[in-house]
């Protein structure tokens, strides 16, 4: 079966993935002499940096997800198809998807990344990732389910229910720890007055020697101070080594009881099958040249998290963050047009605009090129940058109003278990036989 697409006299660009990169590329090719087919397994673009706020009841999922069709309403040269790509057949310039096969003149892989569980792959269903809207809703449900379960037993029998472990102290881990800390301080005591919340623990484990390892030492130090103010326990130089389903072991030999492990320790590329294994780099990313062209292919490109553009400046490729994806998309759009006009393409140059993370109300850390600051003003900058980065007027306004509400009421109103999450639970009989893995 072939996916039906309106006929066009223009060359066809098929973009796989409507994340930051894929969506930006399609936008830049609006009303240009290409037929653009944008594919995504979801019918919405998902603003990943705010998923942790959905997970902690601070924002509705609808505020950070945006229907892709709405972005391209009235645009004649762009068609969206909700599809999962199963295979790339570069010989015949064709991809196989769950809705049929589709030919391309140019193929752009913008499939992003997924959680990397490293040696824990076999028990990864014990961990909660935070990469998608369903992930965030599952986590929101699971936190609340565990509190409900704890109160049913007065929290005496199962201390692990109100203990939360976060593995990985990158921005997602740190921001989530801060949000949980806020809930511990402002929400849970009011919702669960019968529980002794001094026994609730939020534990952040990091294999490296500081939180936010990709940011400045100043930002790391301040961020650690801020999350500790929310009674988050920070364990640095502490890789985790085993999990039994209720007990987490670390390399240091310590054991922590917890029913919930949020895994933010690493990501890896998530690409469709069919590319030459030689084009795949470490971390499952696709090797590209300075023009985002996939090594060994003339008309296949990769942008964003999935692309590994190795250079002296970036020996491991660029950081897997939204600004890289967006800038690569912009450059690739230009190059597709240049190529069409027989002009020389432009090499990609990353403009590092800085990075930031927020920790609870009134606190953030910001690293700009040549200018680092933390605290209240940083928090305003963080909010401003995230609001303007959201797609669409509705989502901007909905998020702004959600934040204003949260700020003035000290509330996080979306404490709803809409779809209970069922984790494959440990069997109490075999609990002692924990799954040991090497870290």
Shortest spacing between CB 133 and its own copies, in angstroms: 5
In angstroms, give the least distance from the CB of 260 to its own copies: 17
| Rounded-to-integer distance, Cα 70 and Cα 242, Å | 45
Cα–Cα dist 304/113, whole Å: 9
Active site residue 438: no
What's CA 319's distance to the chain center, in Å? Answer: 13
User: Does 409 sit near its own copies (CB under 8 A)?
Assistant: yes
Pick the binder of its own copies from 11, 30, 33, 43 (CB under 8 A).
43
185 binds its own copies (CB under 8 A): no
Compute how many residues bind its own copies; rule: CB under 8 A. 51
Which range in 19-27, 38-46, 294-302, 338-346 contacts its own copies by CB under 8 A? 38-46
Q: Which residues, 150 to 169, sit near its own copies by CB under 8 A?
A: 151-154
Whether residue 393 contacts residue 206, with contact meaning beta carbons closer than 8 Å, is answered with: no
Closer to its own copies at the Cβ: 102 or 265? 102
What residues does 214 pair with on adjacent strands? none
Rounded to the nearest whole angstrom, what is the least distance from the CB of residue 410 to its own copies in the complex?
12
* Catalytic residue of the set 175, 182, 206, 224: 175
Report d(CA 345, CA 19) in Å as an integer. 24
CA-derived radius of gyration, the chain: 23
Q: Does 30 bind its own copies (CB under 8 A)?
A: no
Helical pair 322-340 and 20-28, crossing angle rounded to 10 deg: 30
Q: Which of 86, 416, 431, 436 binds its own copies (CB under 8 A)?
A: 416
Which residues within the stretch 48-87 sit at the binding site for its own copies (CB under 8 A)?
Answer: 60-63, 65, 67, 69-70, 73-74, 79, 81-83
Q: Which of 49, 22, 54 is nearest to 36 (CA)?
A: 22
Inter-CA distances, 157 with 143, 150, 162, 258, Å = 17, 8, 11, 13
Please select the residue that binds its own copies; options are 11, 94, 99, 280, rule is CB under 8 A: 99
The CB-of-41 to its own copies minimum distance in angstroms stands at 10
CA distance 329 to 34: 15
CB of 406 to its own copies, least distance (A): 10
Q: Which of residues 114-133 bind its own copies (CB under 8 A)?
A: 133
- Which C-beta is closer to its own copies: that of 80 or that of 301? 80
Residues in 186-205 at the binding interface with its own copies, rule: CB under 8 A: 190-192, 194
Residue 428 sits in the site that holds its own copies (CB under 8 A): no
Judged by the rule CB under 8 A, the positions of this chain that interact with its own copies are 3-4, 6, 42-44, 60-63, 65, 67, 69-70, 73-74, 79, 81-83, 99-100, 133-134, 137, 144, 148-149, 151-154, 190-192, 194, 392, 394, 397-398, 401, 405, 409, 411, 413-419
Residues with active-site annotation: 175
């Amino acid at each position: 079966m072939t996916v039906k697409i309106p006929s066009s006299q223009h060359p066809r660009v098929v973009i796989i993935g409507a994340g930051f990169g894929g969506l930006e590329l399609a936008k830049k090719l609006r009303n240009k002499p290409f037929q653009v087919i944008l594919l995504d397994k979801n019918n919405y673009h998902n603003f990943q940096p705010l998923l942790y706020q959905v997970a902690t009841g601070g924002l509705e999922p609808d505020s950070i997800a945006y229907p892709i069709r709405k972005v391209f309403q009235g645009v004649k040269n762009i068609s969206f198809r909700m599809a999962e790509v199963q295979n790339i057949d570069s010989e015949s310039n064709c991809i196989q998807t769950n809705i049929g096969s589709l030919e391309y003149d140019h193929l752009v892989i913008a499939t992003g990344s997924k959680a990397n569980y490293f040696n824990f792959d076999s028990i990864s269903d014990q961990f909660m990732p935070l990469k998608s809207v369903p992930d965030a809703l599952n986590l929101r449900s699971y936190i609340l389910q565990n509190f409900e379960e704890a109160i049913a037993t007065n929290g005496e029998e199962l201390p692990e229910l109100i203990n939360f472990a976060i593995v990985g102290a990158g921005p997602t881990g740190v921001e989530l720890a801060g949000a949980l800390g806020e809930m511990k301080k402002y929400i849970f005591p009011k919702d669960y007055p019968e529980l002794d919340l001094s026994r609730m623990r939020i534990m952040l484990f990091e294999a490296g020697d500081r939180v936010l390892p990709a940011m400045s030492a100043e930002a790391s130090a301040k961020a650690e101070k801020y999350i500790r103010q929310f009674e988050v326990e920070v364990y640095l130089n502490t890789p985790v080594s085993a999990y039994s389903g209720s007990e987490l072991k670390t390399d240091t030999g310590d054991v922590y009881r917890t029913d919930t492990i949020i895994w933010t320790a690493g990501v890896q590329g998530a690409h469709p099958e069919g590319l030459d294994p030689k084009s795949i780099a470490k971390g499952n990313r696709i090797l590209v040249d300075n023009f985002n062209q996939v090594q060994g292919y003339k008309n296949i490109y990769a942008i964003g998290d999935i692309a590994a553009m190795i250079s002296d400046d970036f020996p491991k490729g660029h950081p897997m963050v939204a600004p890289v994806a967006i800038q690569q998309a912009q450059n690739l759009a230009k190059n597709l047009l240049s190529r069409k006009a027989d002009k020389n393409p432009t090499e990609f140059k990353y403009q590092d605009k800085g990075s930031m993370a927020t920790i609870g109300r009134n606190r953030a850390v910001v690293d700009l090129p040549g200018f680092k600051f933390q605290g209240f003003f940083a928090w305003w900058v963080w909010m401003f940058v995230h609001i303007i980065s959201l797609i669409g007027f509705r989502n901007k306004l909905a998020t702004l109003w959600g934040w204003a509400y949260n700020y003035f009421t000290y509330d996080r109103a979306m404490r709803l278990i809409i779809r209970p999450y069922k984790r494959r639970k440990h069997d109490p009989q075999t609990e002692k036989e924990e799954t040991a893995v090497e870290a």
